Amino acid sequence: MAIDEVTISRAIIERFLRKFSVSLVVDVAVVGGGPAGLVAAYYLARDGYKVSLFERKLSIGGGMWGGGMMFNEIVVQEEGKRILDEFGIRSELYEDGYYTADAVESISTICSKTAQVGAKIFNLMSVEDVVVRQDRVVGLVLNWTAVEMAGLHVDPLTIRSKYVIDATGHDTEVVKVIEHKVDADLLTPTGRIMGEKSLWAEVAEHMTLENTKEVFPGVFVAGMSANATFGAYRMGPIFGGMLLSGEKAATMIAQRLEKEL
């Protein structure tokens, strides 16, 4: 059969628009496609919620691809291994309580399973603003990363979402927008972003879970963004906290959504 280039173009355009159109109104919008955001999107989509994930970069996966200092292996502890097992990612005992896994196998599997359970993943899109109504975030403002990079004067588009997860990592970008633009305190002890502290793996790992919570009505923080928002330590290439934080954000939001039914 002959191949028609225009059919290829039309197929891509129509299918993309279909995917984007159904993502204009969602239960949960996840900002950032690192391990924390992907795991949150996975559990929510698997449980039947309508989820979109927006990632600024071409590749999904955030900081997991490079392991530690480009040695592409990750470390998790017992609790984190449970999540690797759930995704079917192979890991190997290194010594008591420490497991390693191939960084590429880990993040590509998480990404693939998240897409397969129905989360709509959009790469090359950046979240630049939020929509606030009655002191609650009810949507996100999106633009192409290429527009952002080129500094072009192009207006964005908007989506509506019952809940937002800021999983933007160290930069905690959604919360930053709220802090700068919304005339209300954040749900942190100071009402402001408290800022990330230097590296302390042991404390940071469990603080990540503690800090995974609602930071503004309608907005949860997960992963490094949670620690940056609540003034906790970074942890380097141990990834269990990121995975468990994604799971916790999903569980907390699912409980809220259930109540609202």
- Measured from the CB atom, the residue of 50 and 56 that comes closer to ligand 48F is 56
Nearer to ligand 48F, 5 or 105 (CB): 105
Q: Write down the residue that tokens 């949860």 correspond to.
A: 220
Q: Does 234 bind ligand 48F (CB under 6 A)?
A: yes
**Rounded Cα–Cα distance for residues 260 and 79 (Å):** 30
Site map 72..91 versus ligand 48F, x via CB under 6 A: --------------------
Residue 36 or 101 with smaller CB distance to ligand 48F:
36
Q: Is 76 left (phi over 0), alpha (psi -120 to 50) or beta?
A: beta
Residue 235 interacting with ligand 48F (CB under 6 A): yes
Stretch touching ligand 48F by CB under 6 A, among 40-48, 111-119, 236-244, 253-261: 236-244
Of 9-17, 42-50, 190-198, 238-246, the window that binds ligand 48F (rule: CB under 6 A) is 238-246
Per CB under 6 A, does 63 bind ligand 48F?
A: yes
What is the footprint of ligand 48F within residues 89-108 (CB under 6 A)? none
- Does residue number 127 form part of the binding site for ligand 48F (CB under 6 A)? yes
Q: Token match 């989506």: residue?
A: 159
Residues that contact ligand 48F, how many (by CB under 6 A): 29
Asked if 249 interacts with ligand 48F (CB under 6 A), we say no
Binding region for ligand 48F (CB under 6 A): 31-37, 54-57, 62-64, 126-127, 167-169, 171, 173, 223-225, 234-235, 238-239, 242
